[in-house]
Amino acid sequence: MPDRERGERPDPLPDRGIGEDVELRAAEGRMLAADLDARIIARSLWQDAWQDLRRDPVFITSIVLIVFVLVVAIRPSLFTSVDPLNCDLAKSQLGSESGHPFGFDNQGCDVYARTVYGARASVTVGLCATLGVALTGTVLGGLAGFFGAWSDTVISRTADIFFAIPILLGGLVFLSVIRARSNWILVAIIVVLGWPQLARIARGAVIGVKQQDYVTAARALGAGNARLMLRHILPNAIAPVIVVATILLGTYIVLEATLSFLGVGLKPPTVSWGIDISSAADTFRNAPHMLLYPAGALSLTVLAFIMLGDAVRDALDPKLR
């Protein structure tokens, strides 16, 4: 006899199947949500910053300009076939003509060729000085912040002594005494006088990261000082150092040009934007093209690095999000 005739309640198999399907879908939804949360949590600060930088027009513009300047500095022969040291006094201070779009300087040298070749000395000094300052400052500041005690006292007091010497004034004094002039002399002086700024930033960042719970947990699990510093502290403390170093790179390019302009930096026959600006300063009224083109190249390069530093700072600083 059917269940309906016996008065018995039919087996609710359809209702049970719908309930199980709803629970299964709910479980799958929770799993997908948990997986998405795990992916978001697993994404590091650098990955998060890269996602922001890829969509930042300031970063893209600065990178395009910097890459262009680097290519010019590395392979200037790709942009001009004229020798920047091949001069003709008969063309002194003449304006642009066919094959010489920027005109000629006091010695009759092609301004365009000197502007192109001048990027090498200025960019080399800026890049090498920034790398030296960043490495020295990060190492000394990191050691001071990590170990503290007497090492912090010695490094911090030494940094205070160098802070009392303005980098431009110190460069003028040292270069006035040293007769040898080269890119590497300038780089060495900038590193000696410039490391305290990044050392102080690195010290503060290391002290802040050292107090985090994951560092304490790693130490409790038996991690040594080297592993703590290299695996846990330094990767999380290096961001402010990179931001400041990126901005300082443009500053050091200007510093090289300033020292060369004042006559204590690079010397001819080295081709440098600072040297060209210095030689063109007295004739600006009669031949403004001699000053405008190397000064414009210098300004554009410095602007590109400052824009890069601002974009990186905005991407790496969580407080600005």
What's the mean pLDDT in 75-79?
Answer: 91
237 vs 16, more confident: 237
Q: CB neighbours of 312 closer than 8 A, spacing ≥ 6?
A: 49, 53, 59, 242, 243, 246
Average pLDDT over residues 3-29: 52
pTM above 0.85, yes or no: no
For residue 16, pLDDT over 50 is answered with: no
What residue segments make up the domains of the chain, in order of their start?
3-39, 58-320
With 0-12 CB in 10 A as exposed, 13-18 as middle and 19+ as buried, what is 95?
middle
According to the per-residue pLDDT averaged within each range, which of 20-34, 56-70, 168-182, 208-222 is highest? 56-70
For the CA atoms of 235, 238, 240, 241, the dihedral, rounded to the nearest 10 degrees, stands at: -170
Residue range 305-316: mean pLDDT, rounded:
84
Q: Does position 274 have pLDDT exceeding 70, yes or no?
A: yes
**Section 252-281 average pLDDT:** 88
Looking at residue 231, its pLDDT comes to 83
User: Residues with Cβ < 8 Å from 113, sequence gap 6 or more?
Assistant: 80, 82, 83, 84
pLDDT at site 269 = 83
**Structural fold of domain 58-320:** MetI-like fold (1.10.3720)
pLDDT digits (tens, 9 = 90+) for 19-43: 555 555 655 555 555 554 444 444 5
Q: Judge whether residue 261 has pLDDT over 80.
A: yes
pLDDT of residue 112: 92
283 vs 129 pLDDT, higher one: 129
Read off the pLDDT of residues 85-139 as tens digits, 9 standing for 90 and up. Answer: 888 888 888 888 888 888 888 888 999 999 999 999 889 999 999 999 999 999 9
Least confident of 38-42, 87-91, 144-148, 173-177: 38-42
14 preceded by cis ω (within 30°)? no
The per-residue pLDDT for 321 is 53
Nearest to residue 201, comparing CAs of 170, 253, 243?
A: 243
